[in-house]
Amino acid sequence: MIDVLVVDDDFMVARIHTGFVGRVDGFRVVGSCHTGAAALEAVERLQPDLVLLDLYLPDMFGLDVLAALRTAGQDCDVMVITAAKEVDSVRGAMRRGVVDYVLKPFGFDDLRERLERYAVQQDLLHVTEVSGQADIDKVLARRASTAGPEDERLPKGLSPETAQLVASSLRSSGGTLSATECAEAVGLSRVSARRYLEHLVRTGRAQVALRYGSTGRPERRYRWGG
């Protein structure tokens, strides 16, 4: 079993996430807390394998909690679950070695896929020797459900962190987004957002359709899913 600690400032959201985790085979929630200080204490006491960590906590920013965990010698894995769409937050989380970065709101199926992917990665680390490069690539592939070989070859000028943020924004929209709407949600220029969206289309992770209005050019609308 993979032991999970849920950290979220909202009691109801923490309860929902706890219920989600409990529905995934091989995972169990060993604790739930709502502040950064409580999270640090709970990790030391419960020694979870994985922490689902909100960034917006009442006493500490989530990335500061993560830094404090590492300073204290705690090597549990951390999956950020947050509404924080700022690129600096995404970049900071990636630099601190989080296993995933999930934007709220999300559904059970999304979290289940990410947890199952994490479990596969952990299984690969429980052997004394990997069989080859493919196994190492699986362990290092934090975005396996949304990434393929093409994603490691981003066009010049595109960053992996922002690409993940755009993908998460499109996936969590539940419908379609224009480049302008995506830009506003993520904090990019419309031109930059469109470059990332078109990359998602080229790599088969998104679809694009034209919406025709009464005048002017048709609008390009993007939807998650190949």
Structural domains of the chain in order of their starting residue, each with its CATH number? 2-106 (3.40.50.2300), 149-224 (1.10.10.10)
Q: Is the pLDDT of residue 213 over 50?
A: yes
Average pLDDT, rounded, for the chain: 85
Mean pLDDT lowest among 4-13, 91-100, 115-124, 185-194: 115-124
A 10 A CB-CB count for 17 gives 24
pLDDT at residue 33, rounded to an integer:
96
Q: What is the pTM of this model?
A: 0.63
Q: 105 preceded by cis ω (within 30°)?
A: yes
Q: Is the pLDDT of residue 58 over 80?
A: yes
- 41 against 152, higher pLDDT: 41
Q: What is the DSSP letter of 154?
A: P
Give the three-state DSSP class for 198.
Answer: helix
Q: Is the pLDDT of residue 6 over 60?
A: yes
- Residues 6 or more apart whose CB falls under 8 angstroms from that of 196 comprise 158, 162, 163, 166, 167, 182, 188
Q: For 43-67, what is the mean pLDDT? A: 96
In 3D, which of 186, 183, 176 has the Cα closest to residue 219? 176
Give the three-state DSSP class for 33.
Answer: strand
Q: What is the DSSP string of 111-152?
A: HHHHHHHHHHHHHHTTSSS-SSHHHHHHHH-TTTTT--GGGG
